[in-house]
Amino acid sequence: MNTPIIAAFARLAKEDTLPARIIEGQKTLISRTMHNISYNAVNDEIVVSSPFNQAILTFRGGSSGEAVPIRYIRGPKTQIIGSDYDGNDKAFVDGDNGEILIPVGTNTSPYESILVFDRLANGDVAPKRVLSGPDTLIRGTKAGHAGIAIDPKRDLMVVRSAGNGPLLVFNRTASGNAKPLKVIEGPNTGMGGGGGQIGVTPSGMIITACGGGAICAWSVTDNGNVPPRWRIPVQKLTNVAPSGVALNPFHKEIIVPSGARNVVQTYYWPEVFDDNASTTNNN
């Protein structure tokens, strides 16, 4: 079994480049089947789930080697349940509002809960909010769980249900069995694939993987059975399907990992970061 690690590379790293540093080892509490790494640029922290430990781990941004988490959220009060694919394979941080979010699910219900913790929470602490119930439309699958992105500029939370969507737009502080404000789903969306990771640009564009091994963009104002406004045919261009997405707004770049091929691709995509992107339709 391969040892799980977090590897950090220079932004301009190319083929066969060694990582600048690696976080690994027993003291880190990192475990396999973590399917998302979230960076908090406001506080220079790395947040990741630890599925086998049923925990959320926070490291300093410059951590290296067998670093001990500076905080970890773990225990029965947290409501973080399950392990491996049955539990918590992703964790997300909202640095602007000082919160950590994690989707959790069980085999007994198709619906998932999103647990929200204070960024500084440590130990066996209860979530400050829980978004959960059939009206939310948030679903998980055996192979993975919902993706989450925060739009701090518009005070929104965007959730991608596992599998082929849909994309759900909520008020950022939604809790309980709240209905989404907008639902993007249907055959025209071309939703599919990609591991469920999403991002929202400062211009209000939702970025996630879509059908045909592509990366697609919708506006947070979109609703219903609408096609993406922008699309990069990643697999057609490179023969490598995306399994996630991350944003680098400062350089107007989209970072696309592929777990099946152990490849990370970077695309310069200024259109989705443009201030007028949400009013443009380029499909």
Give 252-267 pLDDT, tens digit per residue.
999 998 866 678 899 9
- Work out the average pLDDT over 129-148: 83
Nearest to 98, CA basis, from 172, 175, 197: 172
* Distance set, CA 127 to CA 39, 54, 114, 170 (Å): 20, 14, 10, 18
Look up residue 19 and give its DSSP letter: P
SS3 breakdown of the chain: % helix, strand, coil, rounded to 5? 10, 35, 50
Q: Which tokens go with 18? A: 């060694």
* Main-chain phi, psi angles of 33, to 5 degrees: 65, 25
More confident residue, 153 or 111: 153
Cα–Cα distance measured from residue 123 to residue 139, given in angstroms and rounded to the nearest whole number: 27
Nearest to 181, CA basis, from 155, 203, 207: 155
> Which of 92-96, 237-241, 278-282 comes out lowest in average pLDDT?
278-282
Convert the pLDDT of each residue in 35-89 to its tens digit.
788 999 999 999 998 888 889 999 999 999 999 999 999 999 999 876 544 457 7
Structure tokens at 246: 């991350």
Residues composing the chain: 283
Residue 207: pLDDT band (50, 70, 90) is: very high
Parallel/antiparallel/unpaired status of strands 92-94 and 71-74: unpaired
Predicted confidence band of residue 240 (pLDDT cuts 50, 70, 90): confident
- Model pTM greater than 0.75? yes
* Each residue's pLDDT tens digit, 45-57: 999 988 888 899 9
Give per-residue pLDDT as tens, 20-37. Answer: 999 998 998 888 777 788
